[in-house]
Chain A
Amino acid sequence: MSRSLLLKALGLVVIAALIFVPLTLNRYGIYIMSLWAIMTIAAMGLNLTLGYAGQVSLAQGAFVGLGAYTVAIMMTAGFGFWLPLVLAIIITFAVGWLLGYPALRVQHHYLAFVTLAFSTLVFLVFRNEEWLTKGIYGIMGFKRPSAFGVSFQKPIEFYYFTLGALALASAFMAWLVRSPWGRAFVALRENPIRALSLGVDTRRYTLMAFAIGSAMGGFAGALYAPLVEFIDPTPFTLALSLNLLMMVIVGGSGFFFGPFLGAAIGVLLPEWLRFAHGWYLIIYALFVMLLLIKTPTGILGIVENMIAARKTRAASAARAAASAGLDKA
C-alpha cells in the first residue's frame, strides 16, 4: 500500500509547491519557473519522439523557434494570441511530419545529422529573412494573452498560464502513451520489424511520432514568445536542441516524468550555480557527464533500478522464508 500512497502524497506536495512557491519568488524567479514549465513541454515532445518512438531528433529547438516566431509575427500583425497559437501548432505539426520522412529512410546517427542540419537551416532562415523575421534585430511589441476577461500580463499571472498549459500537455501525453498509439510508438522503438510484422503501420507511426513531438515543441515556442516578449534568432541555435536532448536523457528518456526532472536540471541548476559566475556551465557539463557515466538511463532510471532491486530482494526473502517453512514441515 505504502508506495502508491507515498507517490500520491509526493505528487500533491509537488503540485502544491508549483502553485504556492512562486508567490514568494521575485520577478526573475517567476520567470525561471515559467521557463521551466515551457521547456518541460518541449522536452515532453522530444521524449515522445525519442524516448517512446526511438527516433533521434536534434531539431526540437528549431520547432520551439518556429512556434515562437509564428506567434510573434502574427501577434505583431494584430491577430491576438489564440489564432497564432493554433497556427503555430499546426505549422510545427506539418513540418515535423515532413521531417519524419528522412526517418523512414535512415536511422540513428544519420537521422541525428539530418535533423541537426534542419535545425541549423531553420536558424539561418530566422537570421537572414529580415522581411519576415526582422533578422538579428528581433521582433517586439506584442502583449501577453488574456482569456475570458482574465489577463495574464503580470509575471505571476503568466506563470499560472504556463502551468495550466503544462497540465494540459501532461494530460494529453498521459492519455497518448496509454492509448494504442502509445503502445505502437513503444513497439516502434523496441523492434520495428516485429511491430511491422504484427500489423503496426510503422511508416505512419514514425511520421506521427515526429509530428506530435514537434507540435509540442511548437506549443512550447508559442508560450515562450509571450513570456520573453522579444524574439530574436539567438535562443534558437543548435544549442537549444542539444540542451533539450540533454534534458530528456538526463531526466530519463522514455519515462513519463523524465522531462519534468530533466528540464528542472537543465533550467534551474544553472541558475542555482550562478554564484559560481562563469564556472556554472563548466560545473553543469561535469554534472551531466558524471550523471550519465553513473546512470545512462537518466535519474528516473536509477529510481527504477532501485525499486526493481528492492522487489527482487523482497521476493527472494519471501522465497527463503517459504522454503524455510517447508523445511520445518
Chain B
Amino acid sequence: MMNFINLLMAGLATGAIYALVAIGFTLLWQTSQTINFAQGEFVMVPAFFVLAALNVGMPLPLALLVGLALSMLVLGVLFKRLLVDPMLRHGVLPLAICTMALSIFLKETVKEVYSAEASPFPSFLPGGNLNLLGATISIQSISIFVFAICAVVALQTFLTKTSTGRQMQATAQNPYVAKLLGVPVERMIMYTFLINAALVALASFLISPVYLAKFSAGETLGLAAFIAAIVGGFNQIRGAIVGGLLLGVIDNLAAAYISTQYRGAVPLFLLIAVILFRPQGLMGRAEERTV
C-alpha cells in the first residue's frame, strides 16, 4: 500500500510534467495546425541552455531565467518565424515532416556541441522525504506536482479571465471570425508559440533533475506528450491535464505491477483504444469532419 502511494505520487509528478508538454502541444495545434514532432526535443533543449549558463558562472536562479528567455526566443519566436510561417501554407503534413527534421537537428546539435553523456541538473525545488503516517513520500514529487498544477491553473486563468487570453481562444476556435472582430490574429498566434516555449522550458526545469539532462531525453517525453494530448482530447486544455496525469500514473503503475519490459506498451494500447473508440479524447468535443 505504501509502495502504491509512492508510485501514485511519482506518477502524478511525471504526469503533471506530461500535462505541461501536452498543453503546449495542443495549443500549437489549435492556433496554427502545427503537429510538433520536435516537442520532446523542445523539453530537452532548455535544460542545456541552463547548463550552459551555469558553466559561464551564473547563479542558478539567473541561469533558469536565462534558460527561459533563450527558450522563448529560440523555441518560440525563431521556431515560428523560420519554420512554421514559411511552411504553414503548404499544409499539415510537410510542416509535420519539417518538425521531424528539426527534432533530429536539435538532438544532434546538443550531442555535438554539448555532450553525448547524461549531465546532472540542479533542482530548484526542495528534495528529501516526508514521513506521513508511516509512509515515506518524496517531497520532490509533491513539489513538482504542485508547481506544475499551479502553472496550469495560472495559464487557464490567463486564457479565460484576461482579454488577451480570450482573444487567443477566439483565434484558436475560428481565426476568420476572430479577425473580423478585430482580434490581432497574428500576434495571438505568436503568443501561443511563446506560451508553448515557456511551458516546455518549465517542464524541462522540473524533469531534468529527476531524469538527468541528455540529448536523447526528448524521445520518450515527446511520445508521452502526444499520447497525453490525444487521450485527453486534442482540443481541450483540461483534456491535456487529464491525459497527462492519467498517463503518468498508468505508466508508473504498469512498470511496477505489469511488466517493466512492456511498460512502454501500456500507454500505446491506451492511445489506440482511445483513438478507435473515442477519437475526440476522454474530455474532448467531437470535431465535425469537413467535407
Q: Taking the complex as formed, is B3 at the interface, i.e. its CB lies under 8 A from any CB of chain A?
A: no
**Chain A residues with CB below 8 A from B108, complex form:** 278-279, 281-282, 285
**Chain A residues with CB below 8 A from B109, complex form:** 282
Cβ B93 vs Cβ A56 within 8 A: yes
Distance in angstroms between the alpha carbons of A189 and B105 in the assembled complex: 31
Distance in angstroms between the alpha carbons of A296 and B88 in the assembled complex: 10
**Chain B residues with CB below 8 A from A13, complex form:** none
Distance in angstroms between the alpha carbons of A292 and B269 in the assembled complex: 33
Contact of A289 (CB < 8 Å), options: B93, B101, B226, B291: B101
Q: Taking the complex as formed, is A106 at the interface, i.e. its CB lies under 8 A from any CB of chain B?
A: yes
Q: Taking the complex as formed, is A6 at the interface, i.e. its CB lies under 8 A from any CB of chain B?
A: no
**Chain A residues with CB below 8 A from B288, complex form:** none
Cβ B276 vs Cβ A102 within 8 A: yes
Cβ B105 vs Cβ A285 within 8 A: yes
Q: Taking the complex as formed, is A110 at the interface, i.e. its CB lies under 8 A from any CB of chain B?
A: yes
B88-127 interface (Cβ within 8 A of A): 90-94, 96-98, 100-102, 104-105, 108-109, 111-112
Cβ B279 vs Cβ A105 within 8 A: yes
Residue in B29, B87, B108, B230 whose Cβ sees the most chain A Cβ within 10 Å: B108
Among the stretches A174-182, A213-221, A241-249, the one at the interface with B is A241-249
Cβ B104 vs Cβ A284 within 8 A: yes
Among the stretches B135-143, B200-208, B258-266, the one at the interface with A is B258-266
Cβ A285 vs Cβ B102 within 8 A: yes
Q: How far is the CB of B150 from chain A (nearest CB, A)?
A: 30
Closest B residue to A288 by CB, please name it.
Answer: B101
Closest B residue to A108 by CB, please name it.
Answer: B92
Distance in angstroms between the alpha carbons of A286 and B275 in the assembled complex: 33
Q: Taking the complex as formed, is B152 at the interface, i.e. its CB lies under 8 A from any CB of chain A?
A: no
Distance in angstroms between the alpha carbons of A278 and B268 in the assembled complex: 32
**Chain B residues with CB below 8 A from A128, complex form:** 261-262
Cβ A124 vs Cβ B262 within 8 A: yes
Q: Taking the complex as formed, is A3 at the interface, i.e. its CB lies under 8 A from any CB of chain B?
A: no
Distance in angstroms between the alpha carbons of A284 and B107 in the assembled complex: 13
Distance in angstroms between the alpha carbons of A124 and B35 in the assembled complex: 25
Distance in angstroms between the alpha carbons of A289 and B84 in the assembled complex: 11
Q: Taking the complex as formed, is A31 at the interface, i.e. its CB lies under 8 A from any CB of chain B?
A: no
Contact of A292 (CB < 8 Å), options: B87, B230, B291: B87
Q: Taking the complex as formed, is B5 at the interface, i.e. its CB lies under 8 A from any CB of chain A?
A: no
Distance in angstroms between the alpha carbons of A242 and B29 in the assembled complex: 20
Cβ A249 vs Cβ B271 within 8 A: no
Closest A residue to B100 by CB, please name it.
Answer: A242
Q: Taking the complex as formed, is B86 at the interface, i.e. its CB lies under 8 A from any CB of chain A?
A: yes
Contact of A278 (CB < 8 Å), options: B92, B94, B112, B271: B112
Chain A contact residues, majority secondary structure: helix
Residue in B90, B100, B276, B291 whose Cβ sees the most chain A Cβ within 10 Å: B100
Cβ A124 vs Cβ B230 within 8 A: no
B237-266 interface (Cβ within 8 A of A): 261-262, 264-265
Distance in angstroms between the alpha carbons of A73 and B29 in the assembled complex: 43
Among the stretches A77-85, A112-120, A317-325, the one at the interface with B is A112-120
**Chain A residues with CB below 8 A from B105, complex form:** 282, 285-286, 289
Cβ A292 vs Cβ B92 within 8 A: no
Cβ A296 vs Cβ B92 within 8 A: no
**Chain A residues with CB below 8 A from B100, complex form:** 242, 245-246
A255-303 interface (Cβ within 8 A of B): 278-279, 281-282, 284-286, 288-289, 292-293, 296
Cβ A249 vs Cβ B94 within 8 A: yes
**Chain A residues with CB below 8 A from B78, complex form:** none
Known: A113-B230, A120-B223, A124-B261. Is A293-B276 also a contact (CB below 8 A)?
Answer: no
Distance in angstroms between the alpha carbons of A292 and B96 in the assembled complex: 11
Cβ A289 vs Cβ B261 within 8 A: no
Contact of B112 (CB < 8 Å), options: A116, A282, A289: A282
| B interface residues, Cβ below 8 angstroms from A | 29, 35, 37, 83, 86-87, 90-94, 96-98, 100-102, 104-105, 108-109, 111-112, 223, 226-227, 230, 261-262, 264-265, 268-269, 271-272, 275-276, 279, 289, 291
Additional 16 contacts, C-beta under 8 A, given A246-B97, A249-B97: A113-B275, A117-B227, A121-B265, A121-B268, A124-B262, A124-B264, A193-B291, A282-B104, A282-B108, A285-B105, A286-B101, A292-B90, A292-B94, A293-B83, A296-B91, A296-B94
| A interface residues, Cβ below 8 angstroms from B | 56, 102, 105-110, 112-114, 116-118, 120-121, 124, 127-128, 193, 242, 245-246, 249, 278-279, 281-282, 284-286, 288-289, 292-293, 296
A-B pairs with the 3 shortest C-beta distances?
A296-B90, A285-B105, A296-B94
Name 11 A/B residue pairs within 8 A (Cβ), A-sorted: A109-B92, A112-B35, A114-B276, A117-B271, A121-B265, A121-B268, A128-B262, A246-B100, A249-B94, A292-B97, A296-B91
